[in-house]
Amino acid sequence: MKITEVRIKLVRNKDARLKAFCSVTFDSEFVVRDIKIIEGTGGYFVAMPSRKMSDHCERCGGKNHLRARFCNNCGVALAEDRVRKDARGRMKLHADIAHPVNTKCRKNIQQRIIAAYKEEVRKSKQPNYKPVPMDEPDDDIPEDIS
């Protein structure tokens, strides 16, 4: 599987660790959007798209994010120990929507994204810079669904 396109959307807040969002196209056929480029203490890294994890209130069944202390629906206090922890003992509050299944793939994706990010930063300093459009209105419409 080959990366055939990387689109970068720079974030304007210069003080934040979040530097850009990107979309990656594989084999000109499959797109992963909302990948984040973050500046960490060891340099840039890529965070895959994720969603906040949630659970349901034991009393009413209402859906709540795992950090919620009270049910959004009925207001009852929620248990403090309902958050699962990962192998390092950290709370698992988000789940990846899409992610590489091995280190080699992750490195390849991250290297391509970081290189494209640096190139976009370079281009953004030019006088006639125009950001790359991230989503075209009809790029999600299937050409042939048969």
67-122 pLDDT, tens digit each: 899 999 999 999 888 888 888 888 888 888 999 999 999 999 999 999 999 999 99
pLDDT at position 24 over 80? yes
- In our burial notation (b when 16+ CB lie closer than 10 A, e otherwise), range 59-74 reads eeebebebeeeebeee
pLDDT of residue 4: 97
Residues 111 and 78 in one domain: no
* Residue 143 placed within a domain: no
pLDDT at position 31 over 90? yes
Residues 4 and 74 in one domain: no
Share the mean pLDDT of the chain.
Answer: 89
42-60 average pLDDT score: 94
pLDDT of residue 123: 95
Residues 101 and 127 in one domain: yes
Residue 39 pLDDT grade (very low, low, confident, very high; cuts 50, 70, 90): very high
Residues 114 and 77 in one domain: no
Say how many domains are in the chain.
2
* Residue 91 placed within a domain: yes
23-31 average pLDDT score: 96
One-letter amino acid of 112: R
11-20 average pLDDT score: 88
Residues 44 and 101 in one domain: yes
What pTM, to 2 d.p., does this model score? 0.75
Question: Cα–Cα distance between 53 and 47 in angstroms, integer?
Answer: 16
Residues 4 and 35 in one domain: yes
* Residue 146 placed within a domain: no
pLDDT of residue 112: 97
Question: Cα–Cα distance between 110 and 47 in angstroms, integer?
Answer: 9
CA nearest to 22, candidates 32, 8, 11, 12: 8
Reported as half-sphere exposure (CB side, CA atoms, 13 A), residue 16 has a value of 10
Contact yes or no for 129/123 (Cβ under 8 A): yes
CA nearest to 44, candidates 63, 66, 22: 22
Domain that holds residue 20: 1-49+97-134
* Residue 103 placed within a domain: yes
Structural tokens at position 65: 């994010």
Q: What are phi and psi of 27, to 5 degrees?
A: 50, 30
pLDDT at position 25 over 50? yes
